[in-house]
């Protein structure tokens, strides 16, 4: 195994990890910004107000993007397992 091969696997792993986590992170970010704007406009500074919309947004994103994320992880795992003979050389 060459260093380039190891770096390629690491790079692909990081890419898949970012793609899988991005929908939930972006949904939480958008929900957080919207709640912050709402709090600034209404001057309601309740700390617990931010948690429920963020949790609901993350759950909705998880449910909506679950098939795509699962397909991405299955494809990556299949690719890793099919390349095992290359790793042993």
Q: Compute the distance between CA of residue 78 and CA of residue 89 in angstroms, rounded to an integer.
A: 19
Backbone angles phi, psi at 71, to 5 degrees: -60, -40
Q: Compute the distance between CA of residue 81 and CA of residue 37 in angstroms, rounded to an integer.
A: 47
Contact 57, 28 (CB under 8 A): yes
Q: Compute the distance between CA of residue 50 and CA of residue 35 in angstroms, rounded to an integer.
A: 6
- Three-state DSSP class for residue 33: helix
For the chain, the domains span 18-88
Entry pTM: 0.81
pLDDT in tens, 9-28: 899 999 999 999 999 999 99
Task: Give me the tens of pLDDT residue by residue for the chain, a chain 89 residues long.
Answer: 788 888 988 999 999 999 999 999 999 999 999 999 998 898 888 878 889 999 999 999 999 999 999 999 999 999 999 988 887 76
For residue 53, give the nearest of 38, 41, 69, 43 by alpha carbon: 38
Q: How many residues belong to the chain?
A: 89
């Amino acid at each position: 195994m060459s260093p380039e091969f190891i770096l390629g696997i690491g790079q692909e792993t990081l890419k898949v990890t970012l793609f899988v986590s991005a929908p939930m992170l972006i949904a939480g970010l958008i929900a957080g910004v919207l709640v912050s704007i709402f709090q600034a406009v209404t001057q309601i500074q309740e700390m617990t107000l931010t948690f429920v919309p963020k949790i609901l947004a993350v759950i909705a994103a998880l449910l909506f993007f679950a098939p795509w994320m699962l397909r991405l992880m299955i494809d990556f795992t299949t690719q890793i397992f099919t390349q095992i003979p290359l790793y042993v050389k």
